[in-house]
Amino acid sequence: MDGEGDGAFERLEFYCSLGPGRSLGEVATRYGVSVRTVGNASSAWRWAERASAWDDSQAEARARVHISEAEELAREHSRRWKIIGDKALEAFESIQSSELSPRDALAMADRATHYQRLGIGEATERTETREHLDTSRLSEEQLVQLHRLLAICRGDG
């Protein structure tokens, strides 16, 4: 900041480097001055506000690195699962149809899809959302029809 001076800025840098548990006492001890002197500089140069901004910027930088690493890992997993999938397809194509039951072929395809979806971060399991249906205004006949429709949807009817 304008007029802050190199010494005051150096103390601010040390204060910020202490992290969220920082204290003015640690700065005073490090630079051999009183806590009051450090407190005056802290107030005059808004150290708490600037340290908070510093913490936020460091957290954002860590988050960017984490996201970048996660994206790279996802790309690597996807690349590996593609290779594995290609090799599985080659093996599958070399198997005589008499050697592989339809159930086994389906299981192989299911697993390949599962791991490919997993590799790109897609859902691998079905998820359901259940909503409450207010049936209080339905007639007895409508309730019977609804029951029949639900049974058909479940495969019971």
Contact 35, 25 (CB under 8 A): yes
Contacts of 108 (CB under 8 A, 6+ apart): 88, 92
Q: In 3-state terms, what secondary structure has residue 156?
A: coil
Quote the pLDDT of residue 97.
Answer: 65
The stretches in the chain having pLDDT less than 70 are: 97-98, 126-131, 156-157
Separation of alpha carbons 109 and 68, rounded Å: 31
Separation of alpha carbons 108 and 10, rounded Å: 63
Quote the pLDDT of residue 23.
Answer: 95
Separation of alpha carbons 108 and 90, rounded Å: 12
Q: Residue 48 carries which side chain, given as an amino acid letter? A: A
pLDDT digits (tens, 9 = 90+) for 37-52: 999 999 999 999 999 9
Quote the pLDDT of residue 139.
Answer: 82
pTM for the structure as a whole: 0.52
Quote the pLDDT of residue 7.
Answer: 87
List the structure tokens of 132.
């409450």
Quote the pLDDT of residue 71.
Answer: 86
Quote the pLDDT of residue 2.
Answer: 72
Q: How far apart are the first and last CA of the chain?
A: 77
Quote the pLDDT of residue 111.
Answer: 81
List the structure tokens of 120.
């790109």
Quote the pLDDT of residue 157.
Answer: 57
pLDDT digits (tens, 9 = 90+) for 54-80: 999 999 999 999 999 988 888 888 888
Separation of alpha carbons 155 and 157, rounded Å: 6
| HSE-up of residue 107 (Cα within 13 Å, Cβ side) | 5
Quote the pLDDT of residue 127.
Answer: 65
